[in-house]
């Protein structure tokens, strides 16, 4: 009777020892800096000075009253919504079509390769390439529009406040939709082929097979990819900074560029930390929702 608790304790201790390095790593490099950032957000100070002035929640009050914060948060939300449409709904549809053996093998493999290739390019390279393609009058996009008789659609895509952020978002979709499609293809291949054959024998249409079999079968992957896509949209910085740097006139500002500008251009570290804290808590909320949804399913 007395051996079982001892054995259980040893097993538990062994488990904790195995995960201890990972937990230590998380505390030192993730949770520790996150807590330090929350503390910094309560101070006003410069990176060039060791003195700090405690200001309480003044940085948050300033942040929530800043029109640029509202613009950046709105752009992040638009980024997330469009990314979910393309990188989840559209990518899943593409994966289902390519896995449905509609196209000949060579054509299907060519489509997969063409759609996946942009994801292996560095973000900086993608940004510079699309800057050249979208250049007013000289860029390939504008020239193609003029050749097709759609010259009135020609514009400075990255220089117009009405189109800048959406142009950047669409470039991001061009880069990552193929990558997510590859993940969905793996999930679809894990669904037993017998189920597809049974539905085909029953005369089910492609749409019915997609909604009644493919979507439920890939539900776990859909949930994880959706959460990752939303979190990625919340943290986006590089592609926006390379293509527009938040311009013109801050129209394409996102939380990442706003935080970078506050920290490294304006040298307002406390204010920048408050932006990082808001991003952290939004991401934490999304993570909690993900865990809740996974438990429910």
Q: Is 191 left (phi over 0), alpha (psi -120 to 50) or beta?
A: beta
- Tell whether 287 is covered by a domain: no
- Tell whether 177 is covered by a domain: yes
Q: How many distinct structural domains can be found in the chain?
A: 1
- Tell whether 293 is covered by a domain: no
- Tell whether 132 is covered by a domain: yes
Residue-level pLDDT, tens digit, the chain, 297 residues: 455 666 677 778 888 889 999 999 999 998 899 999 999 999 999 888 888 899 999 999 999 999 999 999 999 999 999 999 999 999 999 999 998 888 888 888 899 899 999 999 999 999 999 999 998 878 898 889 888 888 888 888 999 999 999 999 999 999 999 999 999 999 999 999 899 889 888 888 888 999 999 999 999 899 999 999 999 999 999 999 999 999 899 999 999 999 999 999 999 999 999 999 999 999 999 888 878 877 766
Q: Which helix (H) or strand (E) holds 53?
A: strand 53-54
For residues 145-162, one letter each, b for 16 or more C-beta atoms within 10 angstroms of the residue's C-beta and e for the rest, the string is beeeeeeeebbbbbbeee
Distances (CA, A) of 90 to 50, 176, 179, 297: 51, 11, 12, 23
- Tell whether 110 is covered by a domain: yes
- Tell whether 36 is covered by a domain: no
Provide the CATH number for the domain around residue 175.
Answer: 1.10.3720.10
CA-CA-CA-CA dihedral for 36, 40, 46, 47, to nearest 10: 10
- Tell whether 192 is covered by a domain: yes
Q: Which helix (H) or strand (E) holds 69?
A: helix 67-84
User: Largest alpha-carbon pair distance within the chain?
Assistant: 87
Alpha-carbon span 270 to 282, nearest angstrom? 19
**pTM of the complete model:** 0.88
Expressed as residue numbers, the domain containing 189 is 73-254
- Tell whether 221 is covered by a domain: yes
């Amino acid at each position: 009777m007395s051996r079982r608790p001892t054995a259980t304790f040893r097993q538990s201790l062994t488990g904790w020892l195995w995960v201890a390095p990972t937990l230590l790593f998380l505390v030192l490099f993730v949770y520790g800096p996150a807590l330090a950032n929350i503390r910094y957000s309560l101070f006003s100070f410069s990176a060039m000075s060791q003195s700090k002035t405690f200001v309480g929640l003044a940085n948050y009050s300033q942040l929530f009253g800043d029109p640029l914060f509202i613009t950046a948060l709105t752009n992040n939300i638009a980024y997330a919504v469009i990314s979910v449409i393309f990188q989840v709904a559209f990518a899943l549809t593409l994966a289902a079509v390519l896995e449905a053996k509609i196209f000949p093998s060579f054509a299907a493999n060519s489509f997969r390769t063409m759609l996946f290739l942009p994801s292996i390019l560095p973000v900086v390279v993608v940004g510079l390439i699309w800057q050249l393609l979208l250049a007013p009058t000289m860029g390939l996009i504008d020239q193609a529009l003029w050749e097709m008789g759609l010259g009135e659609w020609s514009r400075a895509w990255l220089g117009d406040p009405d189109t800048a952020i959406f142009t950047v978002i669409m470039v991001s979709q061009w880069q990552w939709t193929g990558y997510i499609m590859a993940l969905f293809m793996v999930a679809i291949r894990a669904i037993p082929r017998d189920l597809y054959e049974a539905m085909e024998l029953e005369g089910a249409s492609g749409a019915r097979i997609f909604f009644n079999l493919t979507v439920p079968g890939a539900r776990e992957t859909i949930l994880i990819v959706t959460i990752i896509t939303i979190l990625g949209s919340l943290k986006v910085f590089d592609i926006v900074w390379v293509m527009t740097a938040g311009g013109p006139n801050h129209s394409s500002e996102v939380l990442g560029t706003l935080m970078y500008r506050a920290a490294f251009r304006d040298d307002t570290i406390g204010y920048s930390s408050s932006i990082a804290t808001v991003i952290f808590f939004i991401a934490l909320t999304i993570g909690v929702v993900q865990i809740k949804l996974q438990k429910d399913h």
